[in-house]
């Protein structure tokens, strides 16, 4: 992975969070738009809240790398609460807004990775 000029990347571990973001965010080699060492395509610009630690991570692999506990999924009862951060504009979306957005940020129009649909069940209690 090659960092873009001026695109600072950071790894953040507990108890610290990454001050570049409006939500408490941690991860491995995270760029200013929430891409990480694990997922760094142009459309990998979301971070997801894990209720187990009430922190956002770019992906489940980042959560596994910087925490010492198993991840928990957002329960259906919390789908109306903020749970996804758009890394492009910084808008915190509810889980429901994210699931219904057709892979496009409703605030700024940024494209989200459609491939993430395959593993939504890692983050959200979908289908239950």
Give every CB contact of residue 8 below 8 A, 6+ residues apart in sequence. 20, 31, 32
Beta strands in 44-118 (DSSP E): 46-50, 55-57, 82-86, 92-94
Where do the structural domains in the chain lie, given as residue ranges?
A: 10-122
CB 47 within 8 A of CB 23: yes
Q: What is the pTM of this model?
A: 0.91
For 48-98, the pLDDT digits (tens) are 999 999 999 999 999 999 999 999 999 999 999 999 999 999 999 999 999
Alpha helix positions (H), the chain: 60-66, 95-99
- Residue 3: per-residue pLDDT: 47
pLDDT digits (tens, 9 = 90+) for 4-39: 544 699 999 998 999 999 999 999 999 999 999 999
Closest CA to 20 of 29, 33, 36: 33
Q: In the numeric block, which tokens belong to residue 69?
A: 């506990």
Between 1 and 100, whose confidence is greater? 100
Q: Is the pLDDT of residue 1 over 80?
A: no
């Amino acid at each position: 992975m090659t960092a873009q000029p001026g695109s600072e990347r950071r790894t953040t571990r507990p108890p610290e969070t990454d001050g570049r973001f409006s939500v408490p965010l941690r991860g491995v080699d995270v760029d200013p738009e929430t891409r990480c060492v694990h997922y760094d395509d142009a459309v990998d610009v979301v971070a997801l809240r894990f209720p187990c630690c009430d922190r956002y991570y770019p992906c489940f692999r980042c959560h596994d790398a910087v925490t010492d506990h198993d991840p928990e999924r957002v329960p259906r009862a919390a789908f109306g609460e903020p749970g996804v951060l758009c890394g492009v504009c910084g808008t915190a979306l509810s889980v429901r807004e994210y699931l219904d957005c057709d892979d496009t940020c409703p605030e700024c129009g940024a494209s989200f990775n459609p491939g993430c649909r395959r593993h939504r069940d890692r983050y959200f209690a979908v289908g239950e």
